[in-house]
Structure 1
Amino acid sequence: MIDTEAGSRLCPACSTATVSQLDAVPWCPACEWNLDAYDADRTGPLFGWAWLDRWTHRLGYRMIRRQFERLLGRPLGTTGADLATVFVLLASALLLTSVVTLGVTGLWLVVAFPFPSPQTVLGVPLIALAIGLRPRFGRIGPDVEVLSRDRAPELFALVDEVASVTGAPVPHVIGVSDDLNAYAGTFGIRRRRVLCLGLPYWGALGPQERVALLGHELGHFVNGDPRRMLLTQPAFTILGSAADLVRPVQTIRGGLLETVGAALGKIFQWILARLLFALHLALVCVALRDSQRAEYLADEMAAKAAGSTAATDLLDGLLRMESLHQTVRREARNGHGPQRWRTAVAEARSAAAARLPQLRQLSLREEASLFSTHPPTGLRRLMLEQRGWQGALVTLTEARSARIDDELTKEYERVRLTLVW
């Protein structure tokens, strides 16, 4: 059944009948009139003020569309260090220098003056503040089950092959989890590369979509994504941490003077926390422009490894993630493993194929945000279409895909029980 709802009127711009999906505000499928509308019922509040949420949504929509048009026809990996990138790097350097200065000053006050002294009283909080604001290197999540090459040789061989054709380095760690997701990143002081595959997601994908997923995730090791670069981490963390540290907290009530003093302190803390958080949001908004460019490049690397057909199919699957999750959970409760998950998901996708063009358009509205790490799925797919169709450099056969699943039988069963309960 096709769940396409006709709008109640014709498009005022081109007289085409408006359409809607998923009870969204209608738009024109031909000229995209009203596609940038803020749909509060589906988008949900961002700041809590309707006028501000509406304004930031439209601004984010325009910025994302402009970036898409600017990147069309350009090499995604060699756009150069634009003003936004330079600004983020300079801001990161300034923030990191400030934190180091706090720590060094606090240490000097503690060491250079006899204990106890007023300087010591000031130095200890400065050291504590510097520790609280220090950059975090991250760590592998406790829910990730790390695999060894001996444990999953077919999977490791496939990752090696995809890394070779995309020019990406091989991850130091490959793990699986029970999330409906996959990610690649660098963690720890040694910046070890980690690839994590959520088995409910991996198990529901066809062979070539699995290759596309690996191409995309490994692409994050070489696409210059500022979220994964050590030099830009301070821009994403320090101001936000500072806002949390100065946020007012509930204190024990005392006499009149204590109450008045606490109230004035809370007002100052509230203003300072909001100011720091506003600066944090502005800096993150600038940094995420290049992060979205990096996502387009990761998609291109997915198409290079698996072929454009598999890469676009993978993106179309993102439009139906809620349905995919429900399908996998249903089959898991019925006692089925990944082979049945994949079949059931393919059947659900086939039934919804007629809705995909409008869902791609709707993604432009619902995924457009100043603070989104990814461009809208519809634009990502359109970018691949505009950059020329590619054939697959890595082909994963059904037999080899089945052998990979056989290697992960124990992990699949654990995930299946998690999905059931």
Structure 2
Amino acid sequence: MPEDDLCPRCSTATVSERSAEPWCPSCEEGLDRFGDHGRHLGWVWTDRLLYRAAYRLTARQFTAMAGRPASASPVSAARIVTVGVSVLLLAGVLAMAGAGLWLLLYDFFSPVNLIGALLLVTAVVLRPRLGRLSALTADAWEVDRDGAPELFTVIERVSAVVGVPMPDVVLVGAEQNAYTTTVGLRRRRVLCLGAPLWAVLDPQERVALLGHELGHFVNGDVRRGLLTQAATTTLGRVAYLLSPERGVTLLEQIVELICWMSSRLVMGVHLVLVATSQRDSQRAEYLADELGVRAGGSAAAVRLNDHFLIMDAIDTVIRREARAQHGAPEWRAASDIARANLVPRVPAMRQLSRRVEASFFASHPPTGLRAALIETRPAQPAGVELSGPDSARIDGELTAIYEKARRELAVSP
């Protein structure tokens, strides 16, 4: 073997995945190599420093949590900073709205009314977003207990094991994904399952997925609070509003320069807050994984995370089958073959995920570390057992939605 293919530190043969720069699978020499995956701000030296720091913090967080149960910490530095800034931002928006209303009504039909109207419009633009169910149902189909009793039964069982109320709305979409969120003034809990993802998982992986997603309602994720959303969105909107148009006259160019500097300052603060809150969100993801383990068992939760590692390959074969007018059974068969073929590559893919997914701005820890963290803990049995026949009945309930998803997959790029 050429010396270039050996690790300079321990002489182990190096590995590579997806045309990435090689690294040592044993001592991990070269695994933290900076590349395009670490470019966010556009300045190479800054991006390099941020990437190195993010890589170290990610590894340190994993080491601190390895072998110990995750816990939803109500108080952390990230949470204190995010909540504090959110309170200040919301107070500022309310003050802007109040001042705008006062100026709008003061000495009516005078120029000062225009300033008031501008302040009111700005406050409306910067207001916290409650989310709307209609925006979610535009890309997914709602199912109810009458139409999918077996699905609702297993969701109910998993909710009880995880310790959360049943979601108020259950959706099934055409994306290779799953998520939970809360919307509206009543903060309705929404669970959305991606049909291409759900269809190819085995029964216990489905339970682990439900446990993970429902766990987001109780895992203390700082991103999901109605109050704390302000810190991660409002400043970004301010930076956008301050983005200057190209000036022509000298005065316009001076205003452009001031707006540009203000926009970059606000965006810098925004990025710092996002990076701070995302570190806490990664801890919350680990906790959601633990709740997935509680529901589906350790083995299923590990398989589920390894499935996410090879999602691109799975997505390719599902789309191929959809274009051939094949339904969910064929998706599952093609996915099983792809997963079996990729098993030998999973260890390297886990390591590579630590390189390409390490970031201050990532809300999820590297996928490979999520599976590895589960494996550092004692194996747990499933809290909810989903039999093959019950799982098949769920597929029967979703037959019409699978067909709708197939049509969308067949025409999407």
TM-score bracket for the superposition, by shorter chain length:
over 0.9
How high is the sequence identity, in percent, across the aligned residues? 48
- Who is 2:93 aligned against? 99
- Who is 1:305 aligned against? 295
- The question of whether the paired residues in 2 share the 8 Å contact of 1:14 and 1:31 is answered with yes
- Residue aligned with 2:108, SS: coil
Give, in angstroms, the shift of residue 6 of structure 1: 9.3
Give, in angstroms, the shift of residue 333 of structure 1: 2.0
- The question of whether the paired residues in 2 share the 8 Å contact of 1:7 and 1:17 is answered with no
Match of 1:131 among 91, 108, 124: 124
Distance 1:420 1:121, change over 3 A: closer
- Who is 1:256 aligned against? none
- Who is 2:113 aligned against? 120
- Residue aligned with 2:227, SS: helix
- Paired with 2:170 and 2:265, the residues of 1 have a C-alpha distance of 40
The letter for the 2-side match of 1:86 is I
Cα root mean square deviation, aligned? 1.7
- Who is 2:35 aligned against? 39
Q: Determine if the alignment matches structure 1 residue 417 to structure 2 residue 407.
A: yes
Q: Determine if the alignment matches structure 1 residue 242 to structure 2 residue 238.
A: yes
Match of 2:16 among 6, 13, 20: 20
Cα deviation digits, residues 212-261 of structure 1 (max 9, x gap): 1101100001101112111211111110010111111357x6xxxxx222
- The question of whether the paired residues in 1 share the 8 Å contact of 2:73 and 2:220 is answered with no
Give, in angstroms, the shift of residue 292 of structure 1: 0.4
Matching of residues 7-406 of structure 1 within 5 Å: 8-40=4-36, 43=37, 45-111=39-105, 113-140=106-133, 141=136, 142-250=138-246, 259-406=249-396
Give, in angstroms, the shift of residue 402 of structure 1: 1.1
- The question of whether the paired residues in 1 share the 8 Å contact of 2:74 and 2:220 is answered with no
- Paired with 1:82 and 1:222, the residues of 2 have a C-alpha distance of 16
- Paired with 1:267 and 1:387, the residues of 2 have a C-alpha distance of 55
Cα deviation digits, residues 48-72 of structure 1 (max 9, x gap): 2222222222121111111112223
The letter for the 1-side match of 2:375 is E
Distance 1:32 1:319, change over 3 A: same
The letter for the 2-side match of 1:68 is F
Number of aligned residues: 408
After the TM superposition, which of the residue ranges 358-367 and 68-77 deviates more from structure 2?
Answer: 68-77
- Paired with 1:39 and 1:13, the residues of 2 have a C-alpha distance of 21
Give, in angstroms, the shift of residue 308 of structure 1: 0.6
Give, in angstroms, the shift of residue 44 of structure 1: 6.7
Give, in angstroms, the shift of residue 208 of structure 1: 1.0
- Residue aligned with 1:19, SS: coil
After the TM superposition, which of the residue ranges 181-190 and 12-21 deviates more from structure 2?
Answer: 12-21
- Paired with 2:277 and 2:44, the residues of 1 have a C-alpha distance of 25
Give, in angstroms, the shift of residue 10 of structure 1: 2.3
Query: What's the TM-score once normalised by structure 1's chain length?
Result: 0.93
- The question of whether the paired residues in 1 share the 8 Å contact of 2:353 and 2:366 is answered with yes
- Paired with 2:73 and 2:2, the residues of 1 have a C-alpha distance of 41
After the TM superposition, which of the residue ranges 329-338 and 128-137 deviates more from structure 2?
Answer: 329-338
- The question of whether the paired residues in 1 share the 8 Å contact of 2:161 and 2:383 is answered with yes
- Paired with 1:365 and 1:233, the residues of 2 have a C-alpha distance of 28
- Residue aligned with 1:197, SS: strand
Cα deviation digits, residues 63-117 of structure 1 (max 9, x gap): 1111112223444224341222111111111111111111111112222x21123
- Paired with 2:66 and 2:79, the residues of 1 have a C-alpha distance of 19
The letter for the 1-side match of 2:115 is L
- Paired with 1:241 and 1:6, the residues of 2 have a C-alpha distance of 53
- Paired with 1:320 and 1:7, the residues of 2 have a C-alpha distance of 30
Query: What's the TM-score once normalised by structure 2's chain length?
Result: 0.95
- The question of whether the paired residues in 2 share the 8 Å contact of 1:6 and 1:19 is answered with no
After the TM superposition, which of the residue ranges 73-82 and 324-333 deviates more from structure 2?
Answer: 73-82
- The question of whether the paired residues in 2 share the 8 Å contact of 1:308 and 1:392 is answered with yes
- Paired with 1:100 and 1:80, the residues of 2 have a C-alpha distance of 26
Cα deviation digits, residues 142-172 of structure 1 (max 9, x gap): 1121111111111111100110111122100
